[in-house]
Chains A and B, each alone.
Chain A
Amino acid sequence: MRSRAAAAVLAREGFKEAYSMEGGIRAWKGLRAAGAPDAGMAYFEPGKKPEEMIALAWMLEEGSCKFYKEMGIREKSPEAVALFQGLWGDEEKHKSSLFEIYQRLSGKDSDPDFPRSLVALESGDDFLEGGIGLKKALEWSRGKDLKDILEFSISLEVNAIDLYIKMEREVEGKPPKEIFLALSNQERNHLKRLSAALEKD
Chain B
Amino acid sequence: MGILDYFKPVSTWPPDRVRQFLDQKSPQEYNLVDVRTPKEYEQEHLPGARLIPVGELETRWKELDRNKPTITY
A149 CB to closest chain B CB (Å) equals: 20
B33→A16 contact, CB < 8 A: no
Residue of B26, B35, B50, B70 touching A2 (CB-CB under 8 A): B35
- Restricting to A163-177, which residues have a CB under 8 Å from any CB of B? 165-166, 168-169
Residue A153 CB within 8 A of the other chain: no
Segment with Cβ contacts to B, from A25-33, A50-58, A77-85, A110-118: A25-33
A25→B73 contact, CB < 8 A: yes
Contacts of A6 in B (CB 8 A): 33, 35, 52, 54, 57, 72
A20 CB to closest chain B CB (Å) equals: 5
Interface residue tally on B, bucketed by range: 35 or more
Residue A9 CB within 8 A of the other chain: yes
B11→A19 contact, CB < 8 A: yes
Residue A121 CB within 8 A of the other chain: no
Contacts of A39 in B (CB 8 A): 42
B20 CB to closest chain A CB (Å) equals: 10
B73→A3 contact, CB < 8 A: yes
Residue A181 CB within 8 A of the other chain: yes
Q: Given that A10-B57, A18-B72 are contacting pairs, would A5 and B1 also be in contact in the complex, using a CB cutoff of 8 Å?
A: yes
Task: Beyond A5-B6, A29-B19, A32-B45, list 16 extra A-B contacts (CB 8 Å).
Answer: A4-B6, A4-B8, A10-B72, A12-B5, A18-B71, A20-B11, A21-B15, A21-B71, A21-B72, A21-B73, A22-B12, A22-B14, A28-B18, A30-B19, A161-B48, A162-B49
Show the binding face of B for A, using Cβ within 8 Å: 1, 5-6, 8, 10-16, 18-19, 22, 26-28, 33-36, 38, 40-52, 54, 57-58, 61, 64, 66-73
